[in-house]
Amino acid sequence: MITQTPTLHAFVSGRSEGFTPLNAFDGALLDAGVGNTNLVKMSSIVPPATREVAVADMRLPPGALVPIAYAAMESDIPGSMICAAVAAAWTHDPAKPGLIMEYHSHGHREDAERVVRRMAEEGMKMRGWEIRELKSLAVDMQVEKIGCVFAAVVLWHHEA
């Protein structure tokens, strides 16, 4: 069971072709640097005072249960464009959490990034919070046979 509140976060993305949609998803996870862990999909809150690091600096143990907010899109239509994006927004109050939004679609990364950033802005507005920082990451690919794109915010903690 995950019991430690995350103190670190990382933005990651990946893409892959695969023998099946699941193989393509697995390849996209490997490309993003989280493929040898067990992802636990979280609702989209970044705990207060987390620090952004590269996913490699998290030193995720193989097989660890890793909290993550992600968007993924798979397709088996050759030639189709698929995209996934995540955005996170933080307010001026360091005691308040950050908010993550995820989005996937057919199309290009620029379109997905524009939508997910707007989603984060709307989520902050719904909470009555002014945005201090808004960060996003998007990925796309043109499918050859079976492809997957993956964008995520990984949450982790300092080792004790």
SS3 34: coil
Which amino acid is located at 63 in the chain? G
Q: Which residues are catalytic?
A: 38, 43-44, 102
Q: Residue 131: name the closest of 118, 145, 149 by CA.
A: 118
Rg (CA), the chain: 16
Residue 155 · residue 50 · CB < 8 Å: yes
Q: Residue 118: name the closest of 91, 90, 89, 84 by CA.
A: 89
